[in-house]
Amino acid sequence: MSILLMPRLVSPACLCGVLVAATIAVLPAPSSITWAAGKTEVCGKGLPKPLNALLQHTYPGYQLTSLAMLTDVGQEIYSQDSKSRCPGVAKVRFFNKGRVDYALVIITRADHAHPYNSIYDLVVAREGDDRSWNLTILEKDVHATPPAVLTLPPGKYTGERDQQPYTLESATEVVFVVKYEAWSRVYILTANGIEKVWLSD
C-alpha cells in the first residue's frame, strides 16, 4: 500500500526525523485539569483496567479527546472513518503485528472556551510480557486543540519532513493523528526508531 499525501497546512512545530520517544511506566504527576474533579471519562472505560489504572496514576483525572471536542465537520469525517465514538483512543498493532497497543490523545488541560489553549500528550500504551503496561510518549505538552487518533495499515507513506518530500515504510500498523481541515501526520516504527511524516488532511 502506498499513500501520497502532501500538506496544505504545516505546523511550525519541529518537522524532525527520528523521534526520541520517552517510555515511562508509572510516573505520578501533579494534575492541571480544569474540569470538574471526579468526572468520569467515558472513552477510558473501554481500556484494559490495568492500563486505565496506570493512566489514572500518571495523569490524575486525565481526559481523552471526545467526539464533542471535534468540529462539526471533524465529527462527520471521524464518524465515517471509524466505528469508535472515542477519537482519543485507537487500537493499533504498532510495536508487534501480534499484539494490540493503544494510541491515546491524553488531555492534561482542557479549555472548552478556547480549545487551542488545551494541553495534551500523544502516547502509545504497550503491554509487556509480564502483563504490565508502559507508555511511550510521542509528543508531550502540546498546546493546541486536541486532535483525533486513528490507525492506518502497514505500507509506504509519503508526505513532508523538513519541508522536503519524504517516504517511510512500515511493516506494522501506523498511528495516524489528524486535526480535521488543518493537518495530519503518521507515526511509524522503523529500524531507526519511531519516525513521523506530515501529511495533508
- Cβ neighbours, 10 Å, residue 153: 11
Chain-centroid distance, C-alpha 41: 17
Q: Is the dihedral of CA 177, 181, 111, 66 positive or negative?
A: negative
Per the structure, the count of domains in the chain is 1
For residue 177, the model assigns a pLDDT of 97
Range(s) of the domain holding residue 170: 2-199
**Range in 40-44, 100-104, 158-162, 180-184 with the lowest mean pLDDT:** 40-44
* In the predicted structure, residue 20 carries a pLDDT above the cut 80: no
Q: What is the pLDDT of residues 25-55, one digit of tens each?
A: 333 333 333 333 333 356 777 899 999 999 9
Query: What pTM, to 2 d.p., does this model score?
Result: 0.79
* In the predicted structure, residue 93 carries a pLDDT above the cut 90: yes
